[in-house]
Structure 1
Amino acid sequence: MTVTVRIPTILRTYTGGVGEVSVAPAGATVSDVLSALDGDFPGICGRVLDERGALRRFVNLYVDEDDIRMLDGLATGTRPGALLSIIPAVAGG
């Protein structure tokens, strides 16, 4: 199974400037996809997850069109061909 991960501009230094990558996770959850992503691009998950392994406060993850915070968080299931989008929150005023 492969999942496409959309990488925001700020994290593309980890992927050599590539905006979308495909990973083959060992399991079928968002957490598994992130583990596979970090295996292929070491250090990228440190920008997405905190020290406890929880999603950072100002990072949003979507599986296809669904915010994982409204589903099962990092335990949200993925399907073959799914799109995981990493979207940093933008603040301003």
Structure 2
Amino acid sequence: MEIDGLFTALLFGAVIGGLGRLVIPGRQHVSLLATILVGIVAALLGTAAATVLGVAETPGIDWIELALQVGLAGAGVTLWANRSKQKLLH
């Protein structure tokens, strides 16, 4: 991976992770780094799912792909926050 691809993945992961945090109600105790990592994974998984469903390459903005990515990021942030909460309780 070239440096511009890495920078793009980090930036896109931060945006997707941030949007994922916005769709989850309440406050999540998740660090910025964790949000970016969850966003990167969600972006990759959302793109893969959109490809399987045949909606990844559409003209204009790929709204379905974006919705999949943000939904996965929201689920990932929720899982990460609950995982962190469980560590605090034990």
TM-score normalized with structure 2 length: 0.27
Q: Which has the higher helix share?
A: 2
Q: Which has the higher strand share?
A: 1
TM-score normalized with structure 1 length: 0.27
